[in-house]
Amino acid sequence: MGNRADLAAMLLKIVSVGDPVLRQKARPLKPEEIQSSHIQDLIAYMRETMHDAPGVGLAAPQVGQPLQLAVIEDKTEYHKNLSAAELKERERVPVPFHVVINPEIELLTPAETAFHEGCLSLPGFMAVVPRALAVRVTCLDEHGKSKTIKASGWYARILQHEIDHLHGRIYIDHMQSETFSTLENYQKHKKH
């Protein structure tokens, strides 16, 4: 990795709510596109942008690209402000970096497990969002290879959140509206 200026050149602008790209259905990538330098570079830049934010997922529409592509990684260091009880309650474990392209999602449980969520495209706010506790996702990876992901707990929540972005949906579309809060008030009044 080069100097800080090189890193800054790799960071993409995260678009905010109100940008039309966040409300349109992203287009699938063709297998031959996935191997292109454009898409491989986009994946690398999205990974750096997600780490810099920091976030656990980033969908291409969030960086202005209406493509069915998302990067995901839930690092151990992101768990340090949560107690063992909170980690257990959320079923949150580290998830290594990976890419999902053209995902199809199947909810394996009803969407009734509710926790606070935030979004890099709606910075400074959180709300309680009910999600399925377990999902199955069929998709392509960054090499264009087919894969199936069976996820539960927080990982299932991340997948649902990012795949929603690929269909023009944002967590506020599913939130329990009375729980919508600034991040500051969430931290001050810490509920779940």
* Coil, strand or helix at 167: coil
- Catalytic positions are 162
**Contact call for residues 15 and 62 (beta carbons, < 8 A):** yes
Contact 170, 22 (CB under 8 A): yes
Contact 146, 140 (CB under 8 A): yes
C-alpha angle 161/162/163, rounded to 5°?
Answer: 95
Give the C-alpha distances (Å, rounded to integers) separating 100 from 6, 45, 51: 26, 15, 17
Contact 136, 106 (CB under 8 A): yes
Residue 102 burial (CB count, 10 A): 20
CA atoms within 13 A on the CB side of 16: 4
Q: For CA atoms 94, 104, 177, 152, give the dihedral sign.
A: negative
